[in-house]
Structure 1
Amino acid sequence: MIVRKKTYKITPDMLETFNHFFHTYLYPNQLKHGAKLIGRWVNESQTEITAMWEYESVEHYHSIEKDIQQSELHRAAQEKRKENGHLFLECHEEFLSSTSEKGTYFPPKHIVTVSGYITNEKGEVLLVRNLHRSDTMEMPGGQVEEGERLDDAIHREIFEETGVHVTLTNVSGIYQNHSRDITCIVFRGTYKSGTLQPEEGETSEVLFARLTEDNLSSFITREQFKVRVLDAMKTQTVPLNIYHVQPFQLLNRYGDNNK
């Protein structure tokens, strides 16, 4: 296994633009072709962004890069860079090995993701169709970034993928994909505001649908996503506290009856 560390130099005023570019073009294209995002960081002065990607081998990396270079999403990204002008000032990358030798990088063993079971006033459920999983619809969601709160991550992911704002109520389940070391936390919530709109380069379809146990398979074809929706349809909740320590400060709690 190898790790690619890519660093981008930016001006602080371009941070939001670069983040949108990353989530719209770079991240989904790497993920679609088999790369694994370890994490992404921005320095305090907002002048440097670092992303770390994991590959099975050097050959695996080159194979993925070849596929990406030939993809429609890559061509769209190149056009977007031309429109934005100086999206970043410069970038450089280096490769690290996960070994016991001094100075090498040890990637985290787990990735945390969030997903949202969001209903509207009609009781319909918010669903998306991702470009890299076009065979099924699913609840909106994505990876929690380094240093990001779980509830902030699900708010961000839902807005990016669907164009709507939501109110979170509680947590319905926690799921571990042991083969890929991914743990997913599913939130329940309700529609608050906004107009449904697919995210360019990420989602091809966004809608509210009336879901039942009988018609679920006509929308969601992957078993792991079906289970999460079926659990969210039930009434049980999983308490979740988000807090600081030293001293202890409760930032938010989900799972209370009044939430």
Structure 2
Amino acid sequence: MIFIRKTEKIRSGKLDEFNRIFHTHEYREYVKNGAKLIGRWVNDKEDEILTIWEYKSKEHYDNFEIVKDTSKEIQEATGLTGDISYELLSSTEPYPSAYHPPKHIMSVSGYITNKKGKVLLVRNFHRSDTMEMPGGQVEEVETLEEAIHREILEETGVKVSIIGITGIYQNVTSGVTCIVFRGEHLSGEVRAAENETSEVIFAELTLENIDHYITRPQFKSRALDAMEANYLPYEAFRARPYELISRFDVKKEYS
């Protein structure tokens, strides 16, 4: 595999429009043709975006550039930029000259119900073929509990209370492990997140209609497990000296 760093100068005031096209068109075009997004960063002045893509080989990258250039939407995005540069990253030098992907990534998602028993679902721009439970990647120094609260609030606009963990799911292809929480809606009206979620709803999710909402099997299995939850213990702590941050013990709470 190889890593290509793409640096784009963004025309003044065009960042939001460029991000919208990236999430709705450019990202799909790259992934459809076998590229993998490693990371994407915007500078403080919001006039430059650095993106790192992974390709299977130099030949894959060269052939993909031909495919990419034929996309009408990506041509539209190119009109919002100035200079664009590409750099093949070395695997022997430290970042930023090179990129070394993390071996494992932790993510969280939440099966959240309201007082009517309806389930909170989102539709992401880059996975528009399915709805799914809200969630995302755990950031450095965050606990899992902090991450699920933050991700749900960012993606949907609502605050929740967490009951427990219903499952752990590992994507061995991408190296992502997802922890699924079950919780309840506390406050806030649902709303979509700009450039991230195109639709946010509370749906009456059942065994009979789940395929109407959740079309990808990996997301469906997580929701089905959470419907009939067998909760797992979870504890967050610091060491030296030992400090308990939080713990879910559902058996004691509901006995």
TM-score where L is the length of structure 2: 0.71
Aligned: 1:230 with 2:252 = no
Residue in 2 aligned with 1:146?
Answer: 140
Equivalent position SS for 2:240: coil
Residue of structure 2 equivalent to 1:214: 208
Quote how far apart the aligned CAs of 1:258 are: 2.7
1:258 is aligned with what amino acid? Answer: E
In 1, the alpha carbon distance for the partners of 2:210 and 2:248 equals 27
Instruction: Give the RMSD, CA atoms, in angstroms.
Output: 4.0
Asked if 1:135 corresponds to 2:119, the answer is: no
1:155-201: per-residue Cα shift (whole Å, max 9, x none)? Answer: 22212221111111211000011222221110111111111111222
CA shift for structure 1 position 72: 5.3
Deviation, structure 1 residue 128: 0.9
Provide the secondary structure at the position in 1 that maps to 2:89: strand
Unaligned runs of 5+ in 1: 9-17, 42-48, 82-91
- 3-state SS in 1 of match to 2:145: helix
Question: In 2, are the aligned partners of 1:171 and 1:255 still within 8 Å (CA)?
Answer: no
Matched with 1:204 is: 198
Of 175, 180, 192 in structure 1, the residue corresponding to residue 186 of structure 2 is: 192
Distance, in Å, in 2 between the alignment partners of 1:60 and 1:147 is 36
Post-superposition shift, 1:121? 0.6
Matches within 5 A, 1:231-250: 231-250=225-244
> Who is 1:173 aligned against?
167
Relative to 1, partners in 2 of residues 1:96 and 1:244: Cα closer, same or farther, differing over 3 Å?
farther
1:258 counterpart residue number: 253
Give, in whole Å, the separation in 2 of the partners of 1:228 and 1:24. 29
Give the secondary-structure state (helix, strand or coil) at the position aligned to 2:154: helix
Hey, what's the Cα distance between the residues in 2 that align with 1:96 and 1:222? 33
**What's the CA shift for 1:55?**
3.6
Give the letter for the 1:2 counterpart: I
Residue identity in the other structure for 2:110: G
Give the distance between the partners of 1:193 and 1:74, measured in 2 at CA: 42
User: Contact 2:110/2:135 (CA < 8 Å) preserved in 1?
Assistant: yes
Give the alignment's TM-score, normalised by structure 1.
0.70
Range moving further from structure 2, 123-132 or 106-115 = 106-115
Residues 10-36 of structure 1: CA deviation (Å, up to 9, x unaligned):
xxxxxxxx9x99997767877543354
| Structure 2 contact 5–88 (Cα < 8 Å) conserved | yes
Unaligned runs of 5+ in 2: 9-14, 42-48
Q: Structure 1 pair 255/31, CA: closer, same or farther in 2 (3 Å)? A: farther
Moved more, 145-154 or 235-244: 145-154
Written as runs of structure 1 = structure 2, the 5 A alignment for 1:52-63 is 53-58=53-58, 60=60, 63=64
Question: Does structure 2 retain, via aligned residues, the 8 Å contact 1:25–1:77?
Answer: no
| Matching of residues 34-183 of structure 1 within 5 Å | 34=31, 35-36=35-36, 38=38, 53-58=53-58, 60=60, 63=64, 67=68, 95-98=88-91, 101=92, 106-183=100-177
Distance in structure 1 (CA, Å) of the matches to 2:189 and 2:106: 28
C-alpha contact (below 8 Å) 1:24/1:201 kept by paired residues: yes
Cα distance in 2, alignment partners of residues 254 and 22 from structure 1: 42
The one-letter code of the counterpart of 1:96 is: L
The DSSP-based 3-state class of the residue aligned with 2:177 is: strand
Aligned counterpart, 1:14: none
Alpha-carbon spacing, 1:161–1:105, altered in 2? closer, same or farther (3 Å) = closer
Q: Deviations over 1:104-135 (max 9, x none)?
A: 65422222211110000111100111222222
Tell which deviates more after alignment, 22-31 or 120-129. 22-31
Task: Kindly name which structure, 1 or 2, has the bigger radius of gyration based on alpha carbons.
Answer: 2
**Aligned sequence identity (%):** 51
